[in-house]
């Protein structure tokens, strides 16, 4: 069984915590059974790179996006329920679901945001289109589902902004916030709605007040490469970050102070990270196509830290490594 043959772009845990969903530059979405150490069922195939990924809270549907299209998949059968041709004129860069799973938002390379209604019948109905101005690399609904935060990037003018919109009207309610000096790759709301986090190619993470747009403290320093992805633990107390420097770092979500030592995956850049629902594990993946499952450093120091690693080999075998020494992953 093969793992991904190209970049892992995004990772999501299914709600029961036993399976992980990944999407990749190899044009596929895949589900992994962490306990069995193998891919579950067949790959869900797109015609192009899969950059957008979201999983419903009930764990029954996966949404994935490619060049102008969004597909909804049944988690158990891996079959397409719905396929939507969006009005995005380029790649669908990101997908976000509202907390009640009633709405799906997509951000595009074309600078537009589209909001759709998720029907109980499985259909996806277009509601509105919002012009964010430039390429949208990340989206996140507020915890109450009433606002949508967008990371808007213009490489030509070197302007990198956060904009917040009212979901009901599509009108801007905050911003633009001039947030970083390079691409904003990820934006994430805290579970209580009091903080908004952003990760950037300027090597920093920042925290913002989503009511005023003001910065909360100084930029969080530590990574030596682009920061691509953020994830919050179920307790809301710890933020994980994935970076070009090959590490997964942990931060106190309130103070911005690093927690424990970073996880050194390999020399390959890490593009995605996700906490398990219990908060005991994180899944990470990146440029080399490997998916790794780690026990977080503070959970139980008597247990193995590296739980499993899935990797693509030319022989199309799925290999799983169990190790107590994280340095063994660099081999």
- DSSP character string of 59-88: SSEEEEE-BSEEEEEETTT--EEEEEE-S-
Task: Return d(Cα 263, Cα 297) in angstroms, integer.
Answer: 8
Q: What is the pLDDT of residue 146?
A: 97
Q: What is the pLDDT of residue 119?
A: 87
What are the structure tokens assigned to 294, written together? Answer: 């780690």
Per-residue pLDDT of the chain (331 residues; tens, 9 = 90+): 346 667 789 999 999 999 999 999 888 999 999 888 789 999 999 998 899 999 999 999 999 998 789 999 999 999 999 999 998 988 899 999 999 999 999 999 999 999 999 987 778 999 999 999 899 999 999 999 999 999 999 878 888 999 999 999 999 999 899 999 999 999 999 999 999 999 999 999 999 999 999 999 999 999 999 999 999 998 879 999 999 999 999 999 999 999 988 998 767 789 999 999 999 999 999 888 888 899 887 766 655 555 555 554 332 222 222 223 333 333 3
- How many Å is the Cα radius of gyration of the chain? 18
Nearest by Cα to 25 from 326, 293, 269, 239: 269
Q: For 111, left (φ over 0), alpha (ψ -120 to 50), or beta?
A: left
Q: Where are the domains of the chain?
A: 222-331
Q: What is the pLDDT of residue 38?
A: 86
Report whether 59 contacts 97 (CB < 8 A).
no
Per-residue DSSP letters for 114-139? EEEEE-TTS-EEEEEEEE-SSEEEEE
Of the options 2.70.98.40, 2.130.10.10, 3.40.50.150, 3.40.710.10, the CATH number for the domain spanning 222-331: 2.130.10.10
């Amino acid at each position: 069984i093969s793992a991904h043959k190209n970049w892992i772009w995004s990772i999501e845990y299914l709600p029961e915590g036993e399976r992980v969903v990944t999407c990749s530059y190899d044009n596929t979405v895949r589900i992994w059974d962490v306990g069995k150490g193998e891919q579950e069922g067949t790959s869900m195939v797109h015609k192009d790179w899969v950059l957008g990924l979201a999983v419903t809270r009930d764990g029954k549907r996966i949404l994935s996006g490619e060049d102008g299209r969004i597909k909804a998949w049944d988690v158990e059968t891996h079959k397409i329920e719905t396929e939507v041709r969006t009005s995005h004129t380029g790649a669908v860069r990101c997908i976000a679901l509202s907390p009640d799973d009633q709405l799906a938002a997509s951000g595009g390379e074309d600078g537009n945001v589209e909001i759709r209604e998720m029907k109980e019948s499985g259909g996806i109905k277009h509601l509105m289109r919002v012009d964010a101005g430039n390429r949208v690399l990340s989206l996140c609904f507020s915890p109450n589902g009433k606002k949508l935060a967008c990371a808007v990037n213009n490489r030509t003018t070197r302007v990198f902004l956060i904009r917040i919109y009212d979901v009901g009207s599509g009108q801007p309610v905050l911003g633009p916030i001039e947030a970083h000096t390079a691409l904003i790759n990820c934006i994430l709301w805290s579970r209580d709605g009091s903080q908004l986090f952003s990760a950037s190619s300027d090597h920093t993470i920042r925290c913002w007040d989503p009511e005023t747009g003001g910065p909360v403290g100084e930029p969080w320093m530590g990574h030596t490469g682009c920061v691509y992805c953020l994830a919050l633990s179920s307790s809301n107390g710890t933020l994980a970050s994935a970076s070009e420097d090959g590490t997964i770092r942990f931060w106190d979500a309130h103070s911005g102070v690093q927690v424990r030592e970073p996880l050194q995956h390999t020399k390959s850049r890490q593009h995605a990270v996700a906490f398990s629902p219990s908060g005991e594990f994180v899944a990470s993946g990146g440029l080399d196509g490997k998916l790794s499952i780690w026990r977080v450093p503070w959970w139980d120091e008597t247990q193995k830290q590296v739980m499993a690693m899935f990797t693509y080999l030319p022989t199309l075998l799925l290999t799983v490594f169990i190790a107590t020494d994280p340095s063994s992953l660099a081999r």
